[in-house]
Amino acid sequence: MKTDTAPGTMTGEEMIALSKKHTLFEWSAQGLVDPLPVARAKGIYFWTPDGQRFIDFNSQLMCVNIGHGDQRVVRAIQEQAARLPYVSPFMVSEPRARLGRKLAELCPGDIDVFFFTNGGAEANENAVKLARWVTGRHKILARYRSYHGGTAGAITLTGDPRRWAAEPGIPGVVHVLDPYHGVERGWDSVEQSLTMLEEVIQLEGPNTIAAFILEPVTGTNGVLVPPDGYLAGVRELCTKYGILMICDEVMSGFGRTGEWFAVDHWSVVPDILTMAKGLTSAYVQLGAVGMRRGIADQFKDKVFYGGLTYNSHPLACAAALATIQVYEDDRLIDNARTLGTVMAGLLADLERRHPCVGAVRSIGLFGIVELVRDRRTREPLAPFNGTSAEMAAVGQFFRQEGLYTIVRWNYFFTNPPLCITEEQLREAFAIIDRALEITDRAAR
Ligand SMILES: Cc1ncc(COP(=O)(O)O)c(C=O)c1O
């Protein structure tokens, strides 16, 4: 094997072999990983070193919202790197100043103060710290169908099975059910769900609960779009009991749902809003905790006990500013809304024509298809936290046909970059249509 070739000249096989030998892959038994080597990417596409083209139908990890290789963002990063790549967070830089002001403009209500982190998990860690200091209470409510990050606190907040291996985790986290109970059982009404939540608050002791953290539209755990009234009801309960509402918009923010933030669909203003991913479209890593003015004011004379070497990193802040400019110049939030309507139609069409489709859901360009073995019993095509030969075959077909998306348990996602065109969307759905012929054969 060559070891000293110039950058950009490795073969896919070399990239895979060295990566497997010297680096760890996340959430995986290392012997089972089968990574795609990627050489370059542009718009909604990426290419392997030997030239196979993929449609990126998941925006990587639901983060490259503006699409790949946008030169406006690349140039902003290059220019900032040449001018001032880093200063201590005790100092200030122009990108930090400009980004704080811009986010205050975009965020709902009076959320206009921000603490910058390296990503989503750290944003949630700091949100929890803030909530505990501000309320003087220690418990945090979180939902079972959720993912909040891989660090100690964030993985404890996480409801999905990725939490199990990290237990016992941090103290004081209490999980509650959300309105969705899986494809077999479906949805509770808003009233049932809020009644259950209020019962948990009573049983835990309202005066012990600092915050309720939730993804307003749940991401990896199923693109769960809450029924109208749910988020407003959660907001009311939080206000009633003095509990801070933390909305984790790490995945749902920055246009994914067809609004800047998912909460905007229901005009709900949380006390704390966390973000990452689409903030820079992942060109450089950056997260942020946004908070209402009243929360930030409490730290005028109290110390904010939080810090990171890379807090307010100028390179990341410059990338975020350029990315936000792209959303605005190219009207990508509008495109997500318009093409979201087209995608909802394409999803409904799959559900109508394929017996294996048990449920489809979407909001903007945030979508999911849940597969079942039997339309009548709605038995999922793979069990909770498991897989099946049929789901594996769907994944294999996508890969062979050049469509990249995440296939998880009994579902797969439809989350393209927001710059996608209708023609490209239809091209991807044509591949999905053919994949579902395989799973139709398994459906009764
Ligand atoms: C809703 C949500 N919160 C938090 C995170 C964690 O973000 P990060 O991986 O940047 O730490 C993720 C990542 O997928 C997420 O989807």
Tens-place pLDDT, residues 109-156: 999 999 999 999 999 999 999 999 999 999 999 999 999 999 999 999
Q: Whose CA is nearest to atom 7 of ligand 1?
A: 120
How many angstroms separate the alpha carbon of residue 58 from the centre of ligand 1?
Answer: 14
In this predicted model, which residue has the larger pLDDT, 7 or 342?
A: 342
* Percentage of the chain lying above the pLDDT 90 cut: 97
Q: What confidence score (pLDDT) does residue 4 get?
A: 63
How many angstroms separate the alpha carbon of residue 147 from the centre of ligand 1?
Answer: 7
Pocket test for ligand 1, best of 61, 63, 116, 147 (most atoms within 8 A of CB): 147
Sorted by sequence, the CB contacts under 8 Å of residue 56 that are 6+ apart come out as 41, 44, 45, 46, 64, 68, 404, 416, 417
Interval 317-329 mean pLDDT: 98
* Percentage of the chain lying above the pLDDT 70 cut: 99
Sorted by sequence, the CB contacts under 8 Å of residue 70 that are 6+ apart come out as 281, 283, 323, 326
Whether residue 278 has its Cβ less than 6 Å from ligand 1: no
Q: Across the chain, what does the average pLDDT equal?
A: 97
Q: How far apart are CA 145 and CA 187, in angstroms?
A: 13
Tokens of 136: 């003087």
pLDDT band of residue 310 (cuts 50, 70, 90) is very high
Interval 51-64 mean pLDDT: 98
Q: How far apart are CA 300 and CA 278, in angstroms?
A: 30
